[in-house]
Amino acid sequence: STLFSAIDMAPRDPILGVTETFNADTNPSKVNLGVGVYYDDNGKVPLLACVQKAEALLMEKAAPRTYLPIEGLAAYDRAVQDLVFGADSAVVREKRAITAQAIGGTGALKLGADFLKRFSPDAQIYISDPSWENHRALFESAGFQVNTYPYYDASTRGVNFDGMLQALQTMPAGSVVVLHACCHNPTGADLSDAQWTQIIEVVTTRGLIPFLDMAYQGFGEGIEADGQVVRRFADAGGPLFVSNSFSKSFSLYGERVGALSIVAASAEEAARVMSQLKRVIRTNYSNPPSHGGQVVATVLSTPELRQLWEDELAGMRVRIREMRAAFVAGLKEAAPNHNFDFVMQQRGMFSYSGLSKEQVTVLREQHSVYAVDTGRICVAALNSKNIGHVLSAIAQVL
Ligand code: PMP
């Protein structure tokens, strides 16, 4: 046999698989709610005006394309820290937080996972049940065993908070707990401020390591409000890991812009952490690509562009909320025996709709409406033109 002759075909990515089937569908009224992307009301991925303006400024500068530092563009890393922790936060002022540009949110998670594997190789990793499907695979590929903590409660369509809290109380000290900072993917169900207070308390007192994943800042209640969980954890002291992504909030998916931040106990400790994180980066891809980081840094540090971004992000957030409201109101009319009010409580791009795998199959096969088998729908893929078809299809499968 040869090197490749015994290699099995890897399973298809479940979500990208939905899109492949969707692309092959010839029904003109087909709708893909299986995606993880924000579309505007015309069904297009927006190119934000703040991004175009920043790119025009960068083009004018015509700077040479040198290598970035290992940890990325300094102006970018600074802007990320200010956004994520607050410029006046203690961890930034005291230089206890370090930030490295990463290849999207995924790259940030992988850097964190590889770093943890070097310095806490036997740690148990805990992710929410359910979670973004790549969380498990990422930490497993870094060599960890990955466990889950209870999160979603299908009977209440909310968070199984008692179950989650109990799980945190029994994890071994030093375990890494991956938490969605806002806009939980896939369920859309977030914790309340009061619940976060209890989570922070138990994570801190039990010596667990929080790893906050923030891929949707600005899609819930607003940039500031959505960032509160990260700031509250930072105030509680380190160690803390934060991965963040601008894929959605800047509509820069393919540019791969994210960052990993780590909070340590002192500036001196943080410097040692950064030196080791740079080794992880150096041996993976040496240094990050520059374009996306330049764009985001330019927008965040130029007051007019920053304001434009906040307005454009608010526009996306408001449109999603309008689609949630239209979804609930439309189903109230089309399926009065069913209650979808919970969809208004959910936040971010996604909703666990409560549709079963069988209902999702009928939606796909008979109505060309594509959702994930778990019933996850992307509310940000609904628009004023396709929602009528989606609502009547759902009413027929209920
Ligand atoms: N974390 C979560 C919870 C996500 O939903 C996503 C992307 N869908 C990511 C991380 C990864 O972000 P990126 O696309 O920037 O790699």
Q: Residue 248: pLDDT above 80?
A: yes
Q: Which residues pair with 125 in a beta bridge?
A: 146, 176
Output the six-digit token pair for 325.
Answer: 């409201």
Place of tokens 């930034």: 92
Average pLDDT over residues 137-154: 97
Catalytic annotation present for 213: yes
Residues with CB under 6 A from ligand 1: 36, 104-106, 132, 180, 185, 213, 215, 245, 247, 258
Enter the pTM of the model. Answer: 0.97
ipTM of the complex: 0.99
Catalytic residue among 77, 132, 190, 309: 132
Per the prediction, the chain carries an average pLDDT of 97
**Distance from the Cα of residue 65 to its chain's centroid:** 29
146 pLDDT above the threshold of 80: yes
CA-closest residue to ligand 1 atom 1 = 215
User: What number is the average pLDDT over the span 106-121?
Assistant: 98
* Identified catalytic residue from 190, 213, 226, 309: 213
Query: Closest ligand 1 atom to the C-alpha of 131?
Result: 3
CB burial of 338-372 (b: ≥16 within 10 Å; e: otherwise) equals: eebebbeebbbbbbbbebeeebbeebbeebbbbbb
Q: In this model, does residue 16 exceed pLDDT 90?
A: no
pLDDT interval class at 13 (50, 70, 90): confident
Report residue 329: phi and psi, to 5°.
-65, -40
**Ligand 1: which of 131, 132, 183 to mutate, most ligand atoms within 8 Å of CB?**
132
Give 55's pLDDT tier (boundaries 50, 70, 90). very high
Residue 9, classed as helix, strand or coil, is coil
pLDDT reported for residue 17: 81
Give residue 369 CA to ligand 1 midpoint distance, Å.
24
Strand ranges inside the chain, DSSP E: 31-32, 97-103, 125-129, 146-150, 152-153, 158-159, 176-180, 209-214, 240-245, 257-263, 350-352, 369-370, 376-378
CB distance 215 to 252 below 8 Å: no
**Residue whose CB lies within 8 A of the most ligand 1 atoms, among 111, 134, 151, 184, for a mutation test:** 134
pLDDT at 14: 77
Q: Quick one: pLDDT at residue 12?
A: 83
Q: Which of 13, 323, 347 is nearest to 185 (CA)?
A: 347
**What pLDDT score does 15 carry?**
78
Q: Is the pLDDT of residue 18 over 90?
A: no
* Residues 216-239: b if buried by 16+ CB within 10 A, e if exposed: bbbbbeebeebbbbbbebbeeebb
Report the pLDDT value the prediction gives residue 56, as an integer from 0 to 100. Answer: 98
Give the long-range contacts of residues 272-278, CB within 8 A, separation 24 or more.
273/98, 274/71, 274/98, 274/100, 276/115, 276/118, 276/119, 277/71, 277/98, 277/100, 277/111, 277/115, 278/70, 278/71, 278/100
Q: Report CA-CA distances (Å) from 273 to 99, 107, 144.
A: 10, 18, 20
Contacts of 9 (CB under 8 A, 6+ apart): none
